[in-house]
């Protein structure tokens, strides 16, 4: 997982070290409440503990995508609605196709006018289609999730977000790293 997230971390490090030419010295996140929309791609690791022994565990790594919209109340607090499609993953005769809607709050710590790490806490309302050979079933539920990330202002209205999120779908854990663009209006 770390090898796959290393390129994302290097991009973020490069963005922080970019010269401030053309960027405003006042934080683009300051001022009255702002709306935002965005989306991105993620890569996740799945670990399902429902199977009986270590050899039969359902482990897989897959790409996902997500979209989100939210309101930033001030430089620190935001509320966000999102949709994540985890895609289809399989091992042998077993497969799962999961997606979910999320509602989350974020709290940022603006370090510079153009860089703000943040934490996220929310609820994921998920659906999963499960297959084991000819037998298929659907499950749904809702579980809390959390995450951390960093927001980089690329321009006055465009941000790059790098996130790590930990989702739980009953006994299945998903650790997802993602790279997202966010447009503020």
Alpha-carbon gap, residue 88 to 29, rounded angstroms:
36
Interacting residues of 101 by C-beta distance below 8 A, sequence separation 6+? 81, 82, 83, 124, 125, 126
Examine the pLDDT at 111 and tell me if it is beyond 90. yes
Alpha-carbon gap, residue 119 to 139, rounded angstroms:
29
pLDDT digits (tens, 9 = 90+) for 17-68: 444 444 445 666 667 889 999 999 999 987 765 543 445 555 566 899 999 9
* pLDDT the model gives residue 94: 82
The confidence band for 89, taking pLDDT boundaries of 50, 70 and 90, is confident
The confidence band for 109, taking pLDDT boundaries of 50, 70 and 90, is very high
pLDDT digits (tens, 9 = 90+) for 147-178: 999 999 999 999 999 999 999 888 888 899 99
The number of beta carbons lying within 10 Å of the beta carbon of residue 183 is 13
**Rounded to 5°, angle at Cα 168 from 166 and 173:** 75
Report the CATH number of the 2-17+35-184 domain: 2.40.160.20
pLDDT digits (tens, 9 = 90+) for 116-144: 999 999 999 999 998 988 999 999 999 99
**Bridge partners for 73 per DSSP:** none
């Amino acid at each position: 997982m770390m090898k796959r997230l290393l390129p994302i971390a290097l991009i973020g490090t490069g963005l922080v070290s970019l010269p401030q030419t053309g960027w405003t010295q006042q934080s683009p996140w300051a001022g009255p409440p702002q709306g935002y929309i965005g989306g991105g791609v993620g890569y996740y690791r799945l670990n399902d503990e429902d199977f009986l022994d270590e050899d039969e565990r359902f482990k897989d790594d897959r790409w996902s995508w997500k979209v989100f919209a939210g309101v930033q109340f001030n430089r620190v607090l935001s509320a966000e609605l999102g949709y994540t499609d985890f895609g289809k993953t399989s091992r042998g005769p077993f497969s799962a196709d999961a997606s979910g809607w999320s509602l989350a709050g974020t709290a940022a710590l603006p370090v510079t006018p153009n860089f703000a790490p943040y934490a996220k806490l929310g609820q994921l309302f998920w659906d999963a289609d499960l297959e084991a050979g000819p037998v298929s079933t659907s499950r749904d539920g809702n579980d809390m999730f959390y995450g951390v990330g960093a927001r980089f202002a690329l321009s006055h209205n465009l941000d790059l977000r790098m996130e790590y999120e930990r989702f739980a779908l009953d006994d299945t854990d998903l650790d997802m790293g993602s790279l997202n663009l966010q447009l503020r209006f």
